Each structure stands twice: as C-alpha cells, then as structure tokens.
Copies of this chain bind each other. A is one copy, B any other.
Amino acid sequence: MAKVKGPTPQSQDFSQWYLDTIQLAELADYAPVRGTIVVRPYGYALWENIQRVLDGMFKETGHQNAYFPLFIPMSFLQKEAEHVEGFSPELAVVTHAGGEELEEPLAVRPTSETIIGYMWSRWIRSWRDLPQLLNQWNNVVRWEMRTRPFLRTSEFLWQEGHTAHATREEAEEETARMLGVYLKFAREYAALPVIPGRKTEREKFAGAVYTTTIEGMMKDGRALQSATSHFLGQNFARAFEITFQDRDLQEKYVWTTSWGLSWRIIGGIIMTHGDDQGLVLPPKLAPIQVVIVPIYKAESKERVLSAAKTLEAELAAAGLRVLTDDRDQYTPGYKFHDWELRGVPYRVELGPRDVEANAAVIKSRIGEKETVALGELKNLLPERLEALHDALFARALEFRKAHTRVVDDYEAFKEAVAEGFALAYHCGDAACEKAIQEETKATARVIPLEFPEHGVLQDDEALRETGEGVCVRCGRPAAYGRRVVFARAY
C-alpha cells in the first residue's frame, strides 16, 4: 500500500523539515542554476492568491501597475553611493548579447529604484505630475552566497512599489501607509502576527533614509523580515535629478519611497504555521480550502462520488476553493495524509453511510473530527475557515509571546536569542550592534512602532513599553526610547 512520505520532524531538524516540506508538498523544486528554484503549480497558486489580495490593496490605495526593464546600465547603479555599495556584491551581469560583447555591461535588476528614478527624471515636470504611485510584479536577481527556497534565492518574484511625492510629509505618510498594507495582509490573510516598526541604521535598505519592516517569528524562534517599506528622502531624486516645478514656481527635488514583498512570505507562512505532518496553510490564501475525500467500495462508488460532486458544486457556488479527490489508486487514508502534507485547511470525509444519513465528517487541519449535516456545510465551512484563520493567528501569537523575553542583562539576552526574541534596550551604535551579532549571531530586527488602526502592539504588552533604559550590552544610555527586538534571523 502506498504511504505518504512525511517530512523530517521539526524537533529533529527544523531546517530539514522546511526543505522536505517544500519538496514533498510540491510547492517548489531546485532548478539547475545555483540558488534558483522552480515554483510548481501548487506553490504558484499560493503566490497567485497572495498577488491577488495585495494587488487589490495596492489599487485601492491609488497605485497603478507598470513594467520597467530587467536590464539596468551598470552606471545607473553607481549614482547613489549607499545603493551601489549595498547591491554591487550581489549583481548578476550580462556582458554579451546577440553574439557580441556589450560596450557597457548590464546589471540584471536587483531592485528598480535606479531605472525608475531615471524615467521619472524624464516624466516629472510639474507638481501636477505628482504623486507618482507605481508598482510592478516582477523578478529580480541577487546573487547570494547561501540560498534556501523562497527565503533566499538567486532569482525571486516580488512586487516593488515606487512612489514620488511633492513633500517629505506625503512621502513619509506613504511609507507608513504601505507598511500598514503589508501588516494588514500579514495579519488578516496570512495569519502572521508580525511586529511592525523601524529598522536600525545598520539594518536599513541601501539608499534609504529609513526602513520600516514587519518581522515574524518562525517556529524555530528565528526572525523573518516579511516585507519592508522605505522612506528614501531625496537620495534618489538627487542622484537622478528628479525635479518638479512646484505651485510656487520653484524647482524642487521630489521625495520618494519604495516598498516590497517577495515570495519569501511563502517561507514565512510555512515556518509559522507548519507542523510535523507538513504544511498548514492559512485559509484565505490556501489554493484548495476544502478537500472532499470520498470513501467507497466498488458497490457504493457511484453514489458516493455523485454525492461528493454535488457537494463540491455547492461549496464552489458558496465561493470556496474546493476539490474532490477521486483518485482511484489511493486509499482514503493515503489521501488524508497527502492533503495534510499539503496543508489544506479543511477536509470532508464522505462515505456510503454518511450519504445515507445526509451527513459528513469534517476536520480542520489542526482540529478534531466532527459529524455534521451535509446541507449545512455550505454555511458552516466558511465560518469554520474564518475560525481556523483566527486560531492559527492566536496560536502563532502565543508561540511568539512564549519565545520572547524582556531582558536587561547580556547573559539573559544570549539565552533569549538562542530560542527566540530578546526585547532589550540598545545604545543605537552600529559598532555595538555588530559586536552583538558577532557574539550572539542575533541582529536588531525591529524597533516596534504602534499602528493604531491595526492595534498590533496591543497583542503584546512587552512591545508597548517605552522608557529610557541602558544598552543591554554596553551599558550606555539607550536610543529609540523603547526596547528593540533582537533575534537570529533568516
């Protein structure tokens, strides 16, 4: 009898569990070029759901999609000093094309601030041309030394938003607005209790004035930067001479922002919710929300399958993404395990006696079996999927809290970051941050920031604390006026 191969247990080797789960659930596979992956249909369907939700949120907030080229002249990247320093080591470079050596080598975009800055310098003339509110869904390349599917790949898919504004205020509002969009997406769709806030100077985007981030905790206690929104000030405006004539007839530099979320979020979903059986997908993003597993013998096959198909049509009409697993070569038990591995939020088991009794057995990916009336499923399952979303969020939040420690001395700090987040005061000095990293492998992940409309910090009292402590490592007066989240990170 065929058996579903499960991943290595999390407790045995979390990293191997992650890699196993991705392969076994057929989310992705390794491609021949170092650090690249193939996203298989099941993984891509998850990405499409992420795209659909976010794209709608971007458009609601007034953004339009566009497409800028893959190739950027090397000279462009050199125009913003911090930017080139940050990205040069990771560039892939095209030197030959059409059978000839190119006069100027081309960078394969690692991000598109420079080329968009160049185009804006041609498009923007007047205050009437502002704001520019653009987004693109595309692929970028960053040649990383150590790679891991979804989390760090040589090429990845993402969206990068780029906006230009007449005033600093508007650009800062935009930076916060888009972090708010990511926060809402993470919490309300991916069930990820991420912490919003700012990056330290040492951890900010190369070329930004400051970077905001949402940071999640994975089940091994490590942090994952899940999306970022950058206030770029006038750095790129000056580098690319992006100016406009304002209402007062003065020629001024624009203020720009950029913000991005990549397929890395899939890694975050896997490592926040998954368990030893495999994936656990958040209901609002799962490619298949409900799987119907018909249970039959030869004599009952026809009527069970027919009932399953009727139910499938009913649930689909109710707006659910539903599939009947009518594969003949596998047992129901095999199918249960197979769909658990793939993280399908709910399954419906339907046997001949159920059909007779107008009932079915349902089971959430993380819950117990229960018997319910067939006719109620189309109303019940949408509610149950909502409840499962809430349960996943609550479970992940509990886990994060249980693995977060408020620490005031360096020994406790070291213990905390060995298994989760340390909330500590820090002096703000980059050299001290670097020393912490060398001594503990932990980095400053996020300086928490309240987003009142999301009430995020309400989740966790420790995050809300403000005060004037001393640096957990060096004892100098603390910066930021509040505790910083430190952790080992992906």
Q: Which of A88-111 contact B (CB under 8 A)?
A: 88-99, 105-106, 108
Q: Give chain B residues whose Cβ lies under 8 Å from the Cβ of A155.
A: 69-71
Q: How many residues of A contact B (CB 8 A)?
A: 57
Tell me whether A130 is interfacial, beta carbon within 8 Å.
no
Are the C-beta atoms of A143 and B97 separated by less than 8 Å?
yes
Known: A119-B29, A128-B329. A139 touches B70 (CB 8 A): yes
Looking across the interface, which residue of chain B has its beta carbon closest to that of A134?
B41
CB distance from A66 to the nearest CB of B (A): 5
Tell me whether A235 is interfacial, beta carbon within 8 Å.
no
Report the copy number of this chain in the oligomer: 2
Are the C-beta atoms of A94 and B97 separated by less than 8 Å?
no
Of residues A88, A91, A97, A157, which shows the largest number of chain B Cβ atoms within 10 Å of its Cβ? A97
Are the C-beta atoms of B94 and A108 separated by less than 8 Å?
yes
Distance in angstroms between the alpha carbons of A214 and B128 in the assembled complex: 43
Residue interface bits A7-46, CB-to-B below 8 A is 1, else 0: 0000000000000000000000101110011111100110
Main secondary structure of the interface of A (DSSP, over half): mixed
Tell me whether A73 is interfacial, beta carbon within 8 Å.
yes
CB within 8 A of A39: which of B37, B47, B67, B115?
B67
Q: Give chain B residues whose Cβ lies under 8 Å from the Cβ of A94.
A: 92-95, 108
Q: Give chain B residues whose Cβ lies under 8 Å from the Cβ of A458.
A: none
Tell me whether A65 is interfacial, beta carbon within 8 Å.
yes
Distance in angstroms between the alpha carbons of A130 and B119 in the assembled complex: 46
Distance in angstroms between the alpha carbons of A366 and B40 in the assembled complex: 45
Are the C-beta atoms of B40 and A66 separated by less than 8 Å?
yes
Footprint of B on A, CB under 8 Å?
29, 31-33, 36-41, 44-45, 47-48, 64-73, 76, 88-99, 105-106, 108, 115, 118-119, 122-123, 128, 134, 138-139, 141, 143-145, 154-155, 157, 329
Residue pairs across A and B with Cβ atoms less than 8 A apart, 20 shown, are A29-B119, A31-B115, A33-B71, A33-B72, A38-B67, A38-B69, A40-B66, A45-B64, A45-B65, A70-B139, A71-B141, A88-B99, A89-B98, A92-B94, A92-B96, A93-B95, A93-B96, A94-B95, A108-B108, A138-B139
